Amino acid sequence: MLEIAVLGLLNESPMHGYEIRKRLASLLGAFRAFSYGSLYPSLRRLAEAGWISEEASMQAPGAARSRRGKRVYRLTAEGKEHLAELLADVGPDAFDEEGFGARLAFFAQTRSDIRLQVLEGRRRRVVEQRDGMKSALARTGERLDRYTRELHEHGLESVDREVRWLTELIEHEHSDASTRPSDHPVTTVKNSEWRSPDGFKT
Amino acid sequence: MLEIAVLGLLNESPMHGYEIRKRLASLLGAFRAFSYGSLYPSLRRLAEAGWISEEASMQAPGAARSRRGKRVYRLTAEGKEHLAELLADVGPDAFDEEGFGARLAFFAQTRSDIRLQVLEGRRRRVVEQRDGMKSALARTGERLDRYTRELHEHGLESVDREVRWLTELIEHEHSDASTRPSDHPVTTVKNSEWRSPDGFKT
DNA sequence: GCTGTCATGTATCGTGCTGATACATCGCGT
DNA sequence: ACGCGATGTATCAGCACGATACATGACAGC
């Protein structure tokens, strides 16, 4: 989601559109690279909503490295508030690829308990996906030709890797949270993977 | 790319839009799942281009007015030709995530030398991406906060895994070609099990 | 027999992103 | 003096998504 990414970036410092895109690319890595065709309309929407302000940047000859840009975008007070709400909103959007990546990129600005909720929600989602893929592969795996099966197996392994990665992140988060009370970083992961065989009701 | 996926599917047998979507989802796995909002317009485009034909499969006594009939889509001769061109076109589009996945899903219908070109082109692309990520991580890795670095490292490992996967596929392709220098030319896959256009429960 | 609800089936619409394209200026090497 | 790559803003057609609407057959439970 561009909205959260732009606001998160502008929370660190005001920027030009061009710089936003560069920082975005390096921040999200190959994960996602937005184009100007979506960035500029998004900036306009955010400005109309009042989350950011749009100032023409004057030329300061001797001053800092204020390059000769045309428009500088800055997070407003409302925008700061809105960003906090977005980062703290642990709805379904926070768990899909896009939303999770955007939130993870700004975890440094996120409360610890929210971080945990996001990680666990994402993990729940990916586990669900993995199990679906696994059973689909078990059902139809024999009938697939070699290449399609390879594609599915590679995808399954990727998702499986993501589950393990998220598990590590969660464990690390737990051990971080318990640096004070206990000297043992290994906190027992309770509630580990109770899998109801037929559905997902709490 | 929906175009190649739809044509590839219809090359096996005629289908309804609904079934196309289901088969597409199971064929591409979690790799990609197109929605009706893109599928139906795509079917219309393909029909206008003449690659597929659109037949109303009305059944039952038609006293019912205001009834939406089922539509069966079938690959035309031109469509078959066009599909062959698409599968054999080893342009840049064949090497990005979308194009490669669509082509791989129909590798069984693809010539062996084209398969190799697609695999090697994709591998070249992914290696390039991996090296870019690796050097970017080496340059800025120390300055990143823990979460962003985790995101980048996980992404790098994923891409690295894909490189190794592609390498294995390529090696296997080579050994296949050498163990079977000129085998009996497997022509069109005769499907012994045919699905009727009206429902697909076997 | 009546009702709910699930799978099947076709279709559209608003919103948003991509890739291409178009400008323009700056810094720098040659 | 000249080009050329990086900086910088902006638009557009095409395509995909997610939500939504409508409709029918099957099948279970009351």
Q: Which of A29, A101, A157 comes nearest B133 by C-beta? A: A29
- Whether chain B has a CB inside 8 Å of the CB on A108: the answer is yes
Angstrom CA distances, B28 to A19, B21, B103, B143, B191, stand at: 36, 10, 11, 38, 20
Q: Which of B145, B155, B162 comes nearest A29 by C-beta? A: B155
B40: closest CA among B20, B62, B10, B11?
Answer: B20
Residue A46: is its pLDDT beyond 90? yes
Give, for A52, the enclosing helix (H) or strand (E): strand A52-56
Tens digit of pLDDT for each residue in A126-161?
999 999 889 888 888 788 889 999 999 999 999 999
Tens digit of pLDDT for each residue in B132-146?
889 888 888 788 889
**Which of strand C's nucleotides are less than 7 A from any protein C-beta?**
8-14, 16-21, 25-27
- Subunit contact A30:B133, Cβ cutoff 8 A: yes
- Whether chain B has a CB inside 8 Å of the CB on A136: the answer is yes
pLDDT mean over A89-106: 91
Residue B202 — very low, low, confident or very high, per pLDDT cuts 50/70/90?
very low
Q: What is the pLDDT of residue B178?
A: 67
pLDDT mean over B78-99: 91
- Identify all chain B residues contacting A97, using CB atoms and an 8 Å cutoff: none
Helices (H), chain A: 2-12, 17-28, 36-49, 77-88, 97-105, 112-140, 146-177
Residue A35: is its pLDDT beyond 60? yes
